[in-house]
Amino acid sequence: MRVALIYNEKRAASASPDAADAEFDSRDAITAVARLVAELGHQAVPTDVTGPIPKLVDQLARIAPDVVLNFAEGERGAFREAFYPALLEQLGLAHTGSSASTLAVCLDKALAKRVVAGARVRVPRGRLIRAADDPWLVRSALARVPLPAIVKPNFEGSSKGITAACIARDRARLAEIVADAIARYPHGVLVEELVDGIDVGVGWFAGIGLLPPIWYRYDGAIYDYALKHLTPECVQLEIPPPLSEAAARRLATVAMRAFAALGVTGYGRVDFRITPGGDAVFLEMNPLPSLTLASGHDELYVAASHLGHAPRVVLAAVLDAALPRGQPRQACA
């Protein structure tokens, strides 16, 4: 097949938790994925989507791909992750991963939590605060959020905007943190209880199923921007985490409920806090997790290896799930 690999290129590393390109991919990482696609017997055409949209449409027309391997995150607005899948759908091009509508819902953390809560998945208690909200209503809402609390951008991923300074242990500090966050993220910040426990992610791939859960072990209160992007070597992956059989079964059940409720297709990763009592509390859904094999960002491949699946098998499953029904499927061992 001819595979268009679309992505946003990261121009330079940044220490800022507000970095606009924190979710973007390096050229070396994309080259590694292109080699993996070639190992499957396909022609990969890496395409940086940065620039005018008409130019991208022309490029896609010249490539005439059988399928688009979508790593593009978008650059602006609450709909940015959904933009390229929406464009591909309108162009009639098959693409990997979930639909535009699913990506749009999942980037809105507060909305995603409401959806999964309706599917009987526990979520943290919290409130969505916007710059345009009435000040009295904001004060009233903050008074009801349990402490300690964490303040995070509502429309961001990859731990953007999240540092140790986002945690409040008293009401006065909480108000200060919210005011600062709203100034930087006026579309909305999520203020919610800081759930005690460990961070665990569960990946899923169509054709493979749930992967073993991943425990992100680190020193500190939260898995923040610095740990994810600046010092990933300080995070240890433990697969599977030390959960009781009952807790592991509950985690698998609520993970599948979250994937189904949010309409995730192809692949994705759902993140939870596991409490000391073994309850899984939903944090967020990532329907576009990294598959670049870059250091510190290849945890889904590591988890899949525990089931005996090599990276090329995982990528073959991603491409296979994107093909329209009736087209030939991948044959990969």
Buried b (16+ CB within 10 A) or exposed e, 248-265: bebbbebbbbbbebbebb
Between CA 206 and CA 318 the distance in angstroms is 7
User: What is the Cα–Cα distance from 103 to 81, expressed in whole angstroms?
Assistant: 6
Residue 39 CA to its chain's centroid (Å): 26
**pLDDT for 1:** 94
Among candidate residues 290, 304, 293, the one with its CA nearest the CA of residue 207: 304
| pLDDT of the residue at 333 | 29
DSSP lists the bridge partners of residue 273 as: 199, 281
Q: Provide the CB-side half-sphere exposure for 318 (13 A, CA).
A: 34
Per-residue pLDDT of 269-325, as tens digits, reads 999 999 999 999 999 999 999 898 765 458 999 999 999 999 999 999 999 999 985
What pLDDT score was predicted for residue 325? 57
Is the pLDDT reported for residue 147 higher than 90? yes
Residue 61 CB neighbour total at 10 angstroms: 11
d(CA 82, CA 100): 4
Query: In whole angstroms, what is the distance from residue 29 CA to residue 7 CA?
Result: 11
Virtual torsion, Cα 123, 231, 169, 272, nearest 10 deg: 10
Q: What is the mean pLDDT of the chain?
A: 91
pLDDT digits (tens, 9 = 90+) for 89-103: 999 999 999 999 999
Quick one: average pLDDT of 193-202?
Answer: 97
If one compares 209 and 18, the residue with the highest pLDDT of the two is: 209
Sorting pLDDT into bands at 50, 70 and 90, what band is 326?
A: very low
pLDDT band at 250 (very low <50, low <70, confident <90, very high): very high
Q: What is the pLDDT of residue 158?
A: 77
Report the Cα–Cα distance between both ends of the chain, in Å, rounded: 18
Domain 125-193: CATH architecture, name and number where available: 2-Layer Sandwich (3.30)
What separation in angstroms does the CA of 144 have from each of 137, 139, 193?
11, 9, 10
Which residue's entry shows tokens 């203020």? Answer: 191
Average pLDDT over residues 162-186: 94
Residue whose pair of structure tokens reads 């991923």 in the numeric block: 157
Domain 2-97: assigned CATH number: 3.40.50.20
User: How many Å apart are CA 49 and CA 115, to the nearest integer?
Assistant: 31
The CATH classification of domain 196-322, taken from the options 3.40.50.620, 3.30.470.20, 3.10.20.90, 2.40.50.420: 3.30.470.20
**The tokens 């899984």 sit on which residue?**
280
Strands 2-7 and 43-48: parallel
Taking the domains of the chain in order of start, what are their residue ranges?
Answer: 2-97, 125-193, 196-322
Q: Average pLDDT, stretch 193-220?
A: 96
SS3 48: strand
pLDDT band, very low/low/confident/very high, at 12 (cuts 50, 70, 90): low
